[in-house]
Amino acid sequence: MTNYKDNKLLEKIKSEINENKILEELTKEYDITDMLNYNEFNVNEKLQTNSYYQEQFRLLYIAEKQKLQRLENKFNELAGKKFDYYKYKDARDLTKTEIEKYYLPADKELIKYKKLIELQNTKVEFFSALSEAFKSQGFNMKSFIEVLKIGG
């Protein structure tokens, strides 16, 4: 199907999606600031919970990635049906290029799915980054404890 990269309508969709607002809402919901902060007084406790958080956010990442895949599959299925309609049932005898460049990108149902895919992709990236952050934090806290033992 079409790649939609040169589509002005898709660019408009992306500009309408406020990624910062979505990330802010997710950050509030999961209160990650407190989870990722540690100091010499709570580092041992944070180290004990770190692997739990890492695994929980990895599982959330997998779940959100599966939702993204389902949305993309539905989009592709719908785009295929729309393409077939324009190619074989529409009386205008449209070319493949015309359908992919003008008709599919302007289809309201496909636009709706593209918005949902963009939103879902933001969530996937968020949970992926969190899982990686907790993985890195585990190593950082172990190094921090070693420095504390040495007297740093």
69-86 pLDDT, tens digit each:
999 999 999 999 999 999
Q: Is residue 1 part of a domain?
A: no
Q: Is residue 15 part of a domain?
A: no
> From the CB of residue 10, how many other CB atoms can be counted at a distance below 10 Å?
19
Give the C-alpha distances (Å, rounded to integers) separating 56 from 4, 131, 134, 135: 34, 8, 10, 12
DSSP 5: T
- Name the domain count of the chain: 1
What whole-number percentage of the chain has pLDDT above 70? 88
| Distance from C-alpha of 13 to C-alpha of 127, rounded to nearest angstrom | 23
Q: Is residue 25 part of a domain?
A: no
Average pLDDT over residues 47-57: 93
Query: Mind listing the pLDDT tens digit for each residue in 112-133?
Result: 999 999 999 999 999 999 999 9
Q: Is residue 37 part of a domain?
A: no
**Which position has the higher pLDDT, 15 or 68?**
68
DSSP 87: I
Q: Which domain holds residue 110?
A: 51-152
Q: Is residue 16 part of a domain?
A: no
Geometric angle at alpha carbon 125, from 104 and 118, rounded to 5°: 20
DSSP 51: H
Give the C-alpha distances (Å, rounded to integers) separating 49 from 31, 42, 43, 46: 15, 11, 10, 5
| Residue indicated by tokens 């539905």 | 74
Note the pTM of the prediction, 2 decimals: 0.79
* 22: nearest Cα among 116, 134, 137: 116
Q: Is residue 127 part of a domain?
A: yes
